[in-house]
Chains A and B, each alone.
Chain A
Amino acid sequence: MTAPASVPAPAATAKAAASASATPPPRPAGRWKPWLAFGVIALITAVTLSPQLGIAFSLDAIARNWQNGAAKIVQLLQPDWSFFPRTIPPMLETLEMAVIATAVSTLIALPLSLWAARLINPHRVGRGIVRVILNIVRAVPELLYAAILVAMVGVGALPGILALVLFNVGIIVKLVSEAIESNDAGPLEAARAAGGTQAQINRAVALPDVWPSFVNQVLYVLELNVRSGTVLGLVGAGGIGLLIDAVRTYFRYDQLSVIILEVLVVVILLELVSSAIRKRLV
């Protein structure tokens, strides 16, 4: 069963025997491939950096604006703590939006992910339609949805929540239906053979099986929502992002740094809590 390539040619064996092991083995073929890949990458990078076709990378502009930038960064390093009380209500709104969006999308995503899993739903066409729609939905970032929804339903937390829900459903259904498919098919077949209806199978076998991975994804989505909920306000969709937009138009980088620190603390705390919950789950 050995591949022909690994069997040395008779001539090479004879030569190796003659020179008594001193010659190194021949170099593997195809060593030019990484260099070719490297060349292609370098070429694309050169094109993207060129002033005509690309994004015009110029150290010149950076050198010219360096003074201005340095002043901003000094400002950034001196947070204006008196601003802190004003950041609390919008930060709470971000958290509320994240919780609501997570709850709503969980309720929508649970039946959909069962529907999209091959082991549970044998109808190929129905499954395919759900997957295609969700792939399309996931291809657009939530901030772009938020920008459009703000124009549709007006400024506030509602378009932000809708944008988050739209994006979350796509993620949860993809990850959870894949988790269901990677599970052992045995128990599902046993339940079916015992004459269980689909509802009974879902209740007794499928859901308990995916429960840990489902909770895992919901926690992950909650983290994502808090993180992107902080910037949704930049397009008018509620939360602390509204404040970020305000301080950035007045170039109040000392206030911006208060907000950034607050976001940092909230995100890292949430990460710690959810990783603690994950450890309990597994």
Chain B
Amino acid sequence: MSAVAPPRPSRTRGRVVASVVVVVVVVAFWSVDINWARLGNLPSEIVRYLWLMFSAPDWSKLGEALYQTWRSVEMAWVGTVFGIIVATPLSFLAAKGFGPPPVQAALRGVFAVIRAVPEIIIAIIILSVTGLTPLTGALALAVGGIGTLGKWGFESIDGVPRGPIEAVRAAGGSTSQVLRWGVWPSASPEFLSFWLYRFEINVRASAVLGLIGVGGIGDMLTSYTQYRQWGVVGMLLIVVVIVTIALDAISGAIRRRITEGAPVHDLER
């Protein structure tokens, strides 16, 4: 007795899943149209280009780069603000118990559709009205923001404890009073941190939108890549990295302050 090991758990399902994954990957590799021969000298090519870009970054264009960065950040900021202004009321309507159910379902569908379309495609649609201006970029980011902010918003309102809401209702509060005193106090930290997070996303996305020509740092980067002025490209990449990391750090610090509260001072000192 006791020497018999317990039977191994069945592994058939795991094996089936693993082989399906392998087959899909192999088919993808086999059918994709790539000149594999080029892959051989790729590492040396990449080292060569990295050297071209970063051995002597061309700082003479720094002024223009900073101006274009400012335009990108502006796009991100305006896009975030417009997105918040539109998405917040919509997320209240889409939350359980506030809007009529058909409106709720429709809004949730709209949010899902917007989230599935990349911002750059939204920008291509919008530019037929506003042309190739930074405003197009800002509006595209605002529309994209409605998708994400709306979804995060109604999910967070759905998660608000019901007690305070019922208390305000029982005390005779109107819907707007329920929102202000029953929902907002518990939902506001999450909302603020979503807004900051969306701003971080928009900073990255605004750089990308430059590729279709709405201006900003992405626009400058594609132009100099096409001129093959690698020193300038290297400088621009350095600027993008520093600005993005700095803005992330600021917004991350504010977010932590909002969600974790003020630093606690030791009272027993």
Contact = CB atoms under 8 A, between A and B. Distances in A.
Contact of A66 (B71, B75, B129, B248): B129
Interface string A199-241: 0000000000000000000000000000110110011000000
A93 B129 contact: no
Interface string B238-269: 00110011001000000000000000000100
Contact of A61 (B28, B45, B131): B131
Question: Which interface residue of B25, B208, B211 has the most chain A CB atoms within 10 A?
Answer: B208
B32 interface: yes
Interface residues of A, number: 63
Contacts of B221: 144, 147-148
A231 B121 contact: yes
B218 A55 contact: no
Given A231-B120, A267-B116, A156 B35 contact: yes
Interface stretch (B96-104, B173-181, B222-230): B222-230
Q: Number of contact residues on B: which range applies?
A: 35 or more
Nearest to B227: A151
Contact of B228 (A151, A234, A263): A151
B241 A140 contact: yes
Interface in A252-267: 253, 256, 260, 263-264, 267
Given A147-B221, A151-B226, A49 B78 contact: yes
A264 B130 CA distance: 24
Contact of A158 (B34, B211, B225, B244): B34
A117 interface: no
B117 A248 contact: no
Interface string A90-101: 001101110110
Given A48-B74, A135-B245, A148-B225, A68 B128 contact: yes
Interface string B67-107: 00001001101100100000000000000000000000000
Nearest to A66: B129
A271 to B, nearest CB: 8
Interface in B39-56: 39, 42, 45-46, 49
B157 interface: no
A193 interface: no
A228 B208 CA distance: 11
Interface stretch (B3-11, B58-66, B133-141): B133-141
A243 B81 CA distance: 32
Nearest to B74: A48
Interface of B: 24-25, 28-29, 31-35, 38-39, 42, 45-46, 49, 71, 74-75, 77-78, 81, 112-113, 116-118, 120-121, 124-125, 128-131, 133-135, 137-138, 204-205, 207-208, 211-212, 218, 221-222, 225-226, 228, 233, 237, 240-241, 244-245, 248, 267
Interface of A: 3-4, 41, 44-45, 48-49, 54-58, 61-62, 65-66, 68-69, 72-73, 76, 92-93, 95-97, 99-100, 103, 135-136, 139-141, 143-144, 147-148, 151-154, 156-158, 161, 227-228, 230-231, 234-235, 244, 248, 251, 253, 256, 260, 263-264, 267-268, 271
7 contacts: A44-B77, A48-B74, A66-B129, A141-B205, A147-B221, A151-B226, A153-B45
